[in-house]
Amino acid sequence: MTRPPWLSDYRETVLTRRAGDLLIVGMAVTAAAVCVAVIDGAGPPDFVFLTVLLWCVFTVVRLAIEAGRRAAIERRRARGLATTAVDEVTHRADDGVRVLAQP
């Protein structure tokens, strides 16, 4: 039996998130290095401060995008459930329980 589309693979999600986090850290370090190189008199403390600051900003942007994506998915799911007959919803829920119960 194939997995329903709403059931995500945990390993895939974690690996994708780790790669995204590494990309965010890399972007923050690169942007901070460029800023420190351009600004006269900036030193290592400025580099560390900018790295942490940019890392926080990029992470907040990533989380906002992820939240928007999840909200759109939930809206689509709610619209689909609102237009679906009760018997079909029960059938889908039963299929989901069967998939989750498989070892």
Which has more pLDDT, 94 or 29? 29
pLDDT of 8 reads: 57
Report the candidate in 33, 9, 30, 22 with the shortest Cα–Cα distance to residue 59: 22
pTM of this structure: 0.61
Report the candidate in 1, 27, 15 with the shortest Cα–Cα distance to residue 101: 1
For the segment 36-78, what is each residue's pLDDT rounded down to a tens digit? 889 888 888 888 898 899 889 988 998 899 899 999 999 998 8
Burial of 92 (0-12, 13-18, 19+ CB in 10 A): middle
